[in-house]
Chains A and B, each alone.
Chain A
Amino acid sequence: MFAIKPSGVFAAALTATALTSFGVSNAVHAEDLKGSVKIDGSSTVYPITEAVAEEFGAEYRKVRVTVGISGTGGGFKRFSTGETDISDASRPIKKKELDKAVENGVEFIEIPVAYDGLTIVVNKDNDFIDKLSVDDLKKIFLDGTTVKTWQDINPAWPAVQIKLYAPGTDSGTFDYFKDVIAGKTGSIRADMSVSEDDNVLVRGVSGDKGAIGFFGCAYYFENADKLRAVPIDGGAGPILPAKDTIESGEYAPFSRPLFIYVNAKAVDRPEVNAFVEFYLEEGAELAEEVGYVRLPSEIAELIKQNYLARKTGTQFLDENGEKIHGPLSEVYH
């Protein structure tokens, strides 16, 4: 107990100074701060965390930061035993993972860091698709569907065979898509070209006129000259994925938040606290730089307050362990 108290006070003091005069206090502390910050988890969130770690390392030269890419699930496995300080996640924590953490006495603070817009893409030469509704996507992707050609979706479209391209079935991206399209009980058809490497999907869709695929918006923004994004009608008219429509949540239901989960005990270590505060300050800018979309500023402010108040637990599971859906602005309040 005695050992914990002073470090907690120190962390609080650091927080206070960081809030009032961020630049000056950093310069003093940054040089002396030592220790290590262990991070693992989603490879989707990795580019953001890598960028933050790089900038952080330039200021805090003696802090050793490592970032892994074991995947969201693999990251939580290590996080829930207290092995890592921070876990990158491309989806909220699941009930099972939460139980494991509780069992091991690991408490955590959940921090959304950016948005990713799951983008539905078709071939560049495909000029007949002007929009797709979520129901259309269900017709195309659900298991046991009878849809074979584009004509089966809309009689005005040609009878070109539909070819499906999808990310690996244990990626957070696939999980999210499956959640939206198939819900809890349904399943996605198995006769798709599946690849863990999204660049393979880009190549697949851009070389096949009847193709349709989906992946994170960073891959679409980078390859916008080779692919065409399909406007998605989530009930309020067709919307194209773009920075502003993803940020505002208009691009529904395929705007998804990305997270870091921070071990609440590790936050007592000044180097971990410094890293998380650095993330909250610089993360939005850096996320945009690597191809993701920043959170709206009100939500970012709310999340920052949550962290400073050390509010633990997840906002995405209710008392019964049921998933809570909806945009961040509704979930965080």
Chain B
Amino acid sequence: MNELASHPPSARSGRFLKDHLFVAVCLLAAGLCIAVLGVLLASIITQGIEHLDTHLLMNPPSRKPEKAGIYPAMIGTIYICLVCAVSAIPLGVGTAILLEEFKPRQKTLARLHGFVQLNITNLAGVPSVVYGILGMTAFVEVFKVMGSPGDPVWTLGTPENWYYLQLPFGRGVLAGGLTLMLVVLPIIIISSQEALRAVPNSLRQGALALGATRLQMVWGTTLPAAVPGIMTGTILAMSRAIGEAAPILIIAGVVYITFTPEHLMDDFTAMPLQIYDWASRPQESFHQVAASGIMVLMAILLTFNAAAVMIRQKFQR
């Protein structure tokens, strides 16, 4: 009895000590992350709260910090993110379906498949400024061979229509949104692939065994099961798009603008650019306006994400 009481507890306490230590280390790691985030948020909120009002939300920028507003940049950001989402999600999910659901068996095609896969994985790690240059070449410069933005070779509608299109594009909302699409496409493809891969194969085999076509299998079985995962990836991708300054700086380059875009070809600016400009001003009070801008950006980001989370919840039921 005595021996049992004296020996095992020490062995037990050694094992449990390690166990407790492990939990403590995990807690410390998580705590540090949250502490850093907390410090960041606290410093931004204390700096930015003063200028955060309806004046900031409803007015164009100004040389005077107390008069400066973020309205055109806010609308610009919302527009390019919409263009980005509308173009990137179908393209990204479509590519993921091709890569996951229709894997080729033939040798050369399989090799091509592997090559495409490798490239997409690599693209996810490319710095966003490179996408800015790519977007510049692909959407702004290429069509310049045919004409100039002031003298388009082809138009659809007039500048009074929101869908006004012209070739060449110029540095408008469409070119900006499509460039952001390039930035987020690899992220959406990879996360959608992960989501599709997580769908049990038995579901696919079941659908096919019941005589479903591949279209019916993907559309009715695999895709709905993968939507929550796809949405998670899309949220991450859009969060990245909304915060990107470098590609937008290359495409738009504009910071001072007093009007909001009226059509897809119109000039625009985005919030990260405006915030960057304010933060690099010499005057201390502009740094506070920058902090207020960051708070607005975060609020929009959270709204976007909340919408996506709600869609995800709906599909998970």
Contacts and interface: CB of A to CB of B under 8 A. Distances in A.
Interface of A: 38, 40, 43, 46-47, 49-51, 53-54, 57, 64-70, 74, 78, 82-83, 196-199, 218-219, 221-223, 286, 289-291
Contact of A66 (B63, B267, B280): B267
Contacts of B282: 198-199, 218-219, 221-223, 291
A65 B253 contact: no
Nearest to A49: B256
A70 B253 contact: yes
Contacts of A291: 282-283
Given A286-B63, A291-B282, A68 B252 contact: yes
Contact of A54 (B63, B252, B277, B284): B63
A65 B258 contact: yes
B279 A66 contact: no
A40 B148 CA distance: 17
Contacts of B254: 40, 66-68
A83 B149 contact: yes
A199 B258 contact: no
Contacts of A69: 249, 253, 255, 273, 277
Given A66-B267, A222-B284, A290-B63, A53 B279 contact: no
Contacts of A53: 256, 258
Nearest to A82: B148
The residue in A54, A70, A223 that gathers the most chain B C-beta atoms within 10 A of its C-beta is A54
B257 to A, nearest CB: 5
A-B complex: 8 closest residue pairs judged by Cβ atoms: A67-B256, A68-B253, A222-B282, A51-B63, A70-B253, A219-B282, A68-B254, A50-B256
Contact of A40 (B253, B258, B284): B253
Contacts of A54: 61-63, 256
A46 B283 CA distance: 14
Nearest to A222: B282
B277 A66 contact: no
Interface in B173-230: none
B20 interface: no
B281 interface: yes
Contacts, number: 74
Contacts of A38: 267
A73 to B, nearest CB: 12
Given A197-B280, A199-B280, A46 B258 contact: no
9 contacts: A40-B253, A40-B254, A49-B256, A50-B63, A54-B61, A74-B253, A197-B280, A222-B282, A222-B284
A51 B256 CA distance: 10
A238 B270 CA distance: 45
B63 A47 contact: yes
Interface string B246-268: 00010011111111000000010
Given A64-B267, A70-B249, A221-B282, 14 more contacts: A43-B280, A53-B258, A54-B63, A64-B258, A64-B259, A68-B252, A68-B253, A69-B255, A70-B253, A197-B280, A199-B279, A199-B282, A199-B287, A286-B63
Main secondary structure of the interface of B (DSSP, over half): loop
Given A286-B63, A290-B63, A47 B281 contact: yes
A198 B277 CA distance: 12
B248 to A, nearest CB: 11
Contacts of A221: 282
Contact of A289 (B63, B252, B277): B63
A228 to B, nearest CB: 17
Contacts of B249: 69-70
Contacts of B252: 68
Contacts of A197: 279-280
Contacts of A78: 253
Interface string B138-160: 00000000001100000000000
A40 B251 CA distance: 12
A167 to B, nearest CB: 11
A275 B252 CA distance: 22
A288 to B, nearest CB: 12
B157 to A, nearest CB: 19
Nearest to A215: B282
B71 to A, nearest CB: 14
Given A49-B256, A67-B256, A222 B283 contact: yes
A213 to B, nearest CB: 14
A65 B256 contact: yes
Contacts of A199: 279-280, 282, 287
Contacts of B255: 46, 50, 67-69
A224 to B, nearest CB: 11
A49 B253 CA distance: 15
A72 B254 CA distance: 14
Nearest to A36: B267
Nearest to B283: A222
A83 B253 CA distance: 13
Nearest to B63: A51
A14 B148 CA distance: 29
Contacts of B253: 40, 68-70, 74, 78
A290 B254 CA distance: 19
The residue in A51, A67, A198 that gathers the most chain B C-beta atoms within 10 A of its C-beta is A67
A221 B279 CA distance: 17
A57 B63 contact: no
A198 B63 contact: no
Nearest to B256: A67
B282 to A, nearest CB: 4
A45 to B, nearest CB: 12
A69 B249 CA distance: 8
B209 to A, nearest CB: 59
Nearest to B144: A81
A287 to B, nearest CB: 11
A291 B61 CA distance: 18
Interface string B52-74: 00000000011100000000000
